[in-house]
């Protein structure tokens, strides 16, 4: 039977801790996620099946909510591994993603806001020390959140080069030594009552401003007074990830909770796009490998004229094309991880060149995953939409991955701006 291990990855990029964390994530995926993933669509509100799995990933077995905190503060110090953490996270994302991308997303987004202050060279040791007890001194999952999208502007916030923050309606006002935040965010991963850790809130310090100095990233612990989370939405996919509205009503946090400073918040915010697209590549690559395994199982068991159906040219040619794409997606994942792990060779994660290359890779991998899953659905015929095979679930989840981080259009524009030096997009 096809396994994810049949698809090669670059051995020289593999993290020293891959042998420790890979088996943990595989065990959780094989024994907890895959046997239950058919139940997740109905579990979108209560997460009675999802929460025990997330507890194993974030606390009991994986302890991943501690990943980016130094050991001095009770963390795992992933940031201080050889070549930094991306190669190890690639293994985690693809292993969990082949079982259920929404669980992989909830895991990745818990770490995502912390990459802006907890991955070299972007280190705010004072904030890591401040937030470490929330994640490292508990036996409860502490989900994190990137609070970006707003009802009136959608993903305009992520289009920093063109929109430059002028549509942001969530306003942070400095009063003495505190930021006072008011605004409304929509659809962040790990909202809907899930967020119990720290959220990074994208704000403006002057409504309607085009000045990058007014673009602010401010950290807000979820239990801060004035933070209100709505009920989760029922979505077409990604049921194991909760999304809802977040309201900030005179929320007060210390002025030190701003990620960096005027100008630097906007500049470093590009790294959020790079890391977010990297995670998306990992989730989709894992799904593609699982699609190959599902196809192998189905067409090995189906016999026609005395032979398994995979032995016929018409079927085998499609299986081969999907396997080639799965191989290339996994290869691309580790190339992107290496790019993030070696800024000395490729540039920092917030550089326009690195962001464009990673967004372009995300565009190709996720589009390919969507197309290949559609081929797989067609090949299985009436079995394709049978939930027992999980292909239709993979397709629904992949379509959502395709839409976030500005969707295909923003990724295309960022790629065109860099490679073709477009100036008006």
* Model pLDDT, residue 83: 61
> Does the pLDDT at position 82 exceed 70?
no
Lowest model confidence (mean pLDDT) among 11-15, 80-84, 180-184: 80-84
Nearest to 219 by CA among 140, 112, 120: 112
Cis peptide before 121 (omega within 30 of 0): yes
> Does the pLDDT at position 388 exceed 90?
no
Element (H, E) at 145: strand 143-147
Q: What is the mean pLDDT of residues 198-217?
A: 95
Element (H, E) at 268: helix 264-268
The rounded mean pLDDT for the chain is: 95
| Domain 4-143 CATH superfamily | Acyl-CoA dehydrogenase/oxidase, N-terminal domain (1.10.540.10)
Burial class (CB in 10 A: 0-12, 13-18, 19+), 323: buried
- Separation between Cα atoms, residue 90 and residue 108, nearest integer Å: 10
Assess contact for 337 and 89: CB atoms under 8 A: yes
Q: Render pLDDT for 167-202 as a digit per residue (tens, 0 to 9).
A: 899 999 999 999 999 999 999 999 998 889 999 999
* Model pLDDT, residue 164: 83
Q: Render pLDDT for 129-169 as a digit per residue (tens, 0 to 9).
A: 999 999 999 999 999 999 999 998 777 788 888 878 888 99
Q: What is the mean pLDDT of residues 26-33?
A: 98
Residues of the chain with CATH 1.20.140.10: 268-419
Q: How far is CA 219 from CA 127, 166, 198, 265, in A?
A: 9, 20, 7, 12
> Does the pLDDT at position 392 exceed 90?
yes
SS3 230: coil
Lowest model confidence (mean pLDDT) among 155-164, 194-203, 239-248, 374-383: 155-164
Fold of 145-265: Butyryl-CoA Dehydrogenase, subunit A; domain 2 (2.40.110)
Element (H, E) at 184: strand 178-186
Residues of the chain with CATH 2.40.110.10: 145-265
Domain 268-419 has CATH 3.30.830.10: no
Assess contact for 365 and 94: CB atoms under 8 A: no
Q: Render pLDDT for 309-335 as a digit per residue (tens, 0 to 9).
A: 999 999 999 999 999 999 999 999 999
Q: How far is CA 397 from CA 56, 163, 404, in A?
A: 22, 28, 11
Instruction: Write phi, then psi, for 23 (nearest 5 degrees).
Output: -60, -35
């Amino acid at each position: 039977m096809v396994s994810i291990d049949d698809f090669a990855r670059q051995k020289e990029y593999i993290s020293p801790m891959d042998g420790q964390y890979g088996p943990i994530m595989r065990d959780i995926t094989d024994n907890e996620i895959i046997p239950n993933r058919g139940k997740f669509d109905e579990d979108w509100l209560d997460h009675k099946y999802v929460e025990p799995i997330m507890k194993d990933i974030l606390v009991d077995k994986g302890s991943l909510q501690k990943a980016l905190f130094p050991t001095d503060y009770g963390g795992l110090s992933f940031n201080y591994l050889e070549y930094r953490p991306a190669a190890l996270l690639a293994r985690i994302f693809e292993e969990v993603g082949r079982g259920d991308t929404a669980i992989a997303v909830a895991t990745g987004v818990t770490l995502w806001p912390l990459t802006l202050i907890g991955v070299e060279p972007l280190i705010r040791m004072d904030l890591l020390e401040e937030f470490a007890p929330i994640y490292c001194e508990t036996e409860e999952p502490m989900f994190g959140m990137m609070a970006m999208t707003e009802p009136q502007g959608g993903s305009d916030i992520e289009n920093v080069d063109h929109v430059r923050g002028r549509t942001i309606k969530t306003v942070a006002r400095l009063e003495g030594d505190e930021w006072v935040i008011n605004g409304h965010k929509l659809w962040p991963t790990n909202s809907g009552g899930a967020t119990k850790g720290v959220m990074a809130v994208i704000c403006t310090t002057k409504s309607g401003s085009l000045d990058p100095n007014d673009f602010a990233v401010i950290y807000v612990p979820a239990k801060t007074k004035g933070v209100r989370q709505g009920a989760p939405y029922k979505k077409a996919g990604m049921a194991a990830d909760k999304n809802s509205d977040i309201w900030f009503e005179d929320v007060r946090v210390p002025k030190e909770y701003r990620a960096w400073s005027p100008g630097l918040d906007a500049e470093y915010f590009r790294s959020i796009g790079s890391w977010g697209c990297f995670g998306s590549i990992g989730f989709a690559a894992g799904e593609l490998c699982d699609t190959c395994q599902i196809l192998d199982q189905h067409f090995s068991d189906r016999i026609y004229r005395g032979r398994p159906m995979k032995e016929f040219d018409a079927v085998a040619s499609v299986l081969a094309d999907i396997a080639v794409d799965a191989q290339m997606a996994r290869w691309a994942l580790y190339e992107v991880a290496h790019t993030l792990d070696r800024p000395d060779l490729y540039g920092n994660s917030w550089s326009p060149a690195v962001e464009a290359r990673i967004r372009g890779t995300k565009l190709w991998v996720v589009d390919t995953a969507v197309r290949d899953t559609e081929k797989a659905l067609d090949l299985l015929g009436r079995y394709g939409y049978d939930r027992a095979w999980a292909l239709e679930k993979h397709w629904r989840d992949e379509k959502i991955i395709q839409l976030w981080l500005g969707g295909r259009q923003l990724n295309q524009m960022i790629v065109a701006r860099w490679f073709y030096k477009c100036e008006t997009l």
